[in-house]
Structure 1
Amino acid sequence: MTSPAQQTLFLPFENGILPPLDDGARFLAFGIEADAALEGAWKEALAIVQPFRPAYLKLGRAGFHVVPRLEGDVLFDGGLMLLAKHRGRNEQWFADLLSRVAPGGTIVICGDKKLGIGSFRKWAGKIAEAEDRLSKNHAVVFWMKRPAGLPGEAIEALYPAAKRVDGRFHTAAGMFSHGEIDKGSALLARHLEGRLSGAVADFGAGWGYLSAECLKYPQKITKLDLYEADFEALEAARGNLSGLAGNIPVSFHWQDLVSEPLTAIYDTVVMNPPFHEGRAADISLGRAFIAAAARRLKSGGRLLFVANRQLPYEATLKSLFRSVETLEEGQGFKVVEARR
C-alpha cells in the first residue's frame, strides 16, 4: 500500500487540475514507491531514481524503470518528487529536477506535513514560483513550471555541500550520520582491537567509518565486505576506503540484508544496525541484522555490534549465539560481543 503522501502527489492529475500525460511523455521521479495504481500511461512515463535498496527492489519487481542514481544528460518533459525525511537529499533532488526537466515542464512536489513540506515549498518558491497547491491526507502537493533561462550556477548553488568528517571521510546529505562520526560507532571502534579475525563483514556499512576502523588491523583480516542499502552511502564508502586496504581484498555490496540472502561465510561481523523505518522506530530491523549475522558466521565466529541501550535485543541474541557479553555501556549505547 502506498503512502498517503504519494496518493496526494498524483491528485492534481486525477482531479484534472493538471493536464493528462501526453503520449510518449517522460517524467523523472524521485522518492516514489511501487504502486499498483500507476499502471498504463504513468508506468510507461516514469523514470524513477531510488537509492534505497528495499524500495528499489519493490519498484523493479513491479515493472517500473528504476535506477539508483541519475546518469547521462537526458531531458524530461516533467518531474515528480515525494519528500524524503532528509532535507538535504530533498534539496539535491529538487536541483536534479531543475537540471533534467526541460524549460516549461511541470514539476510536482509532495510531502507529509510532518516532513516540513511547508518550509520546503517556501524554499523552492525562491527559485520557481508555485502555480498552486492542494492539501489532503495530511500532505501538501504543489506544482510549478521549470523556469526558462535559469542559469546553471543558480542550480548548482542549490545542491547541499558535502561534509568532510575527521579530515578524511566524504559524507553527503541523506546518509546516516551525515557530517559526523556516530557516537555509537565510535564506541564500538574502541573494542575492535584483538577481536577481529579472518573474513570480516560490515553490515549496514554506511559511508564506511567502521570498515575504516577495521582496516587499522590489517594483520588480522583476510578480506573485508561492506553491505549497505543506501546506494549513495555505499559509493561514498568506496571512495573513503580508497588507499586504506593495502593488500586486503575489499568488496562493496548494495544489498538489503533483510530480504536478500547472503552467500559468503565470515569469521567476524561488525555492525551498527538501523532501528528506524522512515520516522518510526522498528526494532525488527536490528533483529533481522542479528539473524543475518548468525546465519553467515562460522562456528566460533564473532559478532561485534553497538545499539541504543534500551533496545531489547538480548532474547534474540541468546537464541542464536552460544555466548553473549556486554563489553561496555555508556553515552546511551551498549557494545555487545556474541559468539556462535
Structure 2
Amino acid sequence: MASAAQQTLFLPFENGILPPPSDAESFVAFGIEANTALDEAWKKALTIVQPFRPDYHKLERAGFHVVPRVEGNGRFDAGMLLLGKHRGRNEQWFADSLQRVAPDGAIVVCGEKKLGIDSFRKWAGKIVELEDRLSKNHAVVFWMKRPAELSDETISALRPAAKRVDGRFDTAPGMFSHGEIDKGSALLAHHLEGRLSGAVADFGAGWGYLSAECLKYPEKFSKIDLYEADFEALEAARGNLSGLAGDIPLSFHWHDLVSEPVAEIYDTVVMNPPFHEGRAADVSLGQAFIAAAARRLKPGGRLLLVANRQLPYEATLKPLFRLVEILEEGQGFKVIEARR
C-alpha cells in the first residue's frame, strides 16, 4: 500500500480531472514508492526515478521501470513528483521535471502538509502558472502545464547549488551531512591512523569523507571499496575521491547493506551507520551494518565505527567480535573498535 501522500498524488487522475496515460504515452515520476494498486497501464507508462537503493528494489520487484537517474535527452509526455523531506532535492527534481517533460505536458506535484507542500506550491507558482490543487489525506496535490517557452538557463537557475565542504568535497541536498562534515565521522577520522590494513571497505560511504580520510595513509592498505545506498551520494564520492587515490584502487558499489550480500572479504571496515528510516530512529539499521561487517571481515579483521552515544550497539557487537573497545566518547558520539 502506498503512502497517503502518494494516493493523493494520483487523485487528479482518479477524479477524471487529468487523463491517465494512453498506451503511447510515457510519464516520468520522481520519488514515488512501489504501489501494487496501480494497473498495468500505469506500470507501462511510468519511468520512476529513485536513487535510494532499498526503494529502487521494491519498485523493481513490483514490476515498475525504475532508474536511479534519468540519462540522455529524451522527453516525456508528463511528469509526477512526490515530495520528500529534503527541500533541495525536491527543487532539483522539480527542475528535472521541467527539463524532461515536453511542452504543454502535465506536471503533477504532491506532498504532505507537514513536509512543507504549501510553501513549495507557492514557490513553484512563481515559476510556472499553476492550474489547480486538491487536498486529501493531510497532503496537497497541485498541477500545471509545462510552459512551451522555458529556457535552459531558467531551469538551471532553479537547481540548488552544490555546497563545497572543506574546499575539496562537493555535496548536494538530500545527501547525509549535506554541506558539512559530520561531527561523528570527523571524530572517527582521528582514530584511523595505525588501524587501517589490507583491503578496506567503507560501509555507508556517503559522499566519501571517511574514504578520503583513509587515503591520507595510503602505505597502510591495498584498496578501498565504497558501499552506499544513495546513488547521488555515491556519484558525488566518485568525483570527490578522483584526485585523491593515487595508486590505491577504488571501487564504488550502489548497494543496500541491509538486504544485499557483500561479495568481498576485508581486513578493515569503517562506518558511520545510519540510524534513521524517514523521520523515525531505527537502531536495526546500524545493527544490520554491524552484522554485514562481521560476515565479511577476516579473522583478526578490524571494524571501526562511530555512533551516537545512546545507541546500544555494544550488545550487537559483543557476540560477533572477539574484542570490543570504546576508543573515545565525546560530542554526543562514541568511537568503537571491534576485532574479529
- Fold match by TM threshold 0.5: yes
Matched with 1:163 is 163
Matched with 1:287 is 287
1:243 is displaced (CA, Å) by 2.2
Matched with 1:41 is 41
1:65 is displaced (CA, Å) by 1.0
Deviations 1:196-223 (Å, cap 9, x if unpaired)?
1111000000000000000111111111
Matched with 1:69 is 69
Matches of residues 1-340 of structure 1 in structure 2 within 5 Å? Answer: 1-340=1-340
- SS of match in other structure, 2:170: strand
Q: Which runs of 5+ in 1 are unaligned?
A: none
> Is the 2:30–2:80 Cα contact (8 Å) retained in structure 1?
yes
1:313 is displaced (CA, Å) by 1.1
- SS of match in other structure, 2:103: strand
- SS of match in other structure, 2:143: strand
> Is the 2:225–2:250 Cα contact (8 Å) retained in structure 1?
yes
Question: Equivalents in 1 of 2:163, 2:20: separation in Å?
Answer: 41
Q: Normalising by structure 2, report the TM-score.
A: 0.98
- SS of match in other structure, 2:102: strand
Change (3 A) 1:239 1:20: closer
> Is the 2:21–2:27 Cα contact (8 Å) retained in structure 1?
no
Q: Which runs of 5+ in 2 are unaligned?
A: none
After TM superposition, the runs of 4+ consecutive aligned structure 1 residues lying more than 6 A away are: none
1:289 is displaced (CA, Å) by 0.3
Question: Equivalents in 2 of 1:123, 1:159: separation in Å?
Answer: 13
Question: Equivalents in 2 of 1:20, 1:326: separation in Å?
Answer: 57
Deviations 1:261-284 (Å, cap 9, x if unpaired)?
011111110000001111111111
1:82 is displaced (CA, Å) by 0.5
1:118 is displaced (CA, Å) by 0.9
Question: Equivalents in 1 of 2:304, 2:262: separation in Å?
Answer: 18
1:22 is displaced (CA, Å) by 2.6
Deviations 1:2-32 (Å, cap 9, x if unpaired)?
2111111101111112223233111110001
Letter in 1 for 2:59: L
- SS of match in other structure, 2:213: helix
Q: Normalising by structure 1, report the TM-score.
A: 0.98
Q: How many residues align?
A: 340
1:129 is displaced (CA, Å) by 2.2
Q: Percent identity?
A: 82
1:305 is displaced (CA, Å) by 0.5
Deviations 1:133-180 (Å, cap 9, x if unpaired)?
111111111111111211221111000001111111111111111111
1:314 is displaced (CA, Å) by 1.4
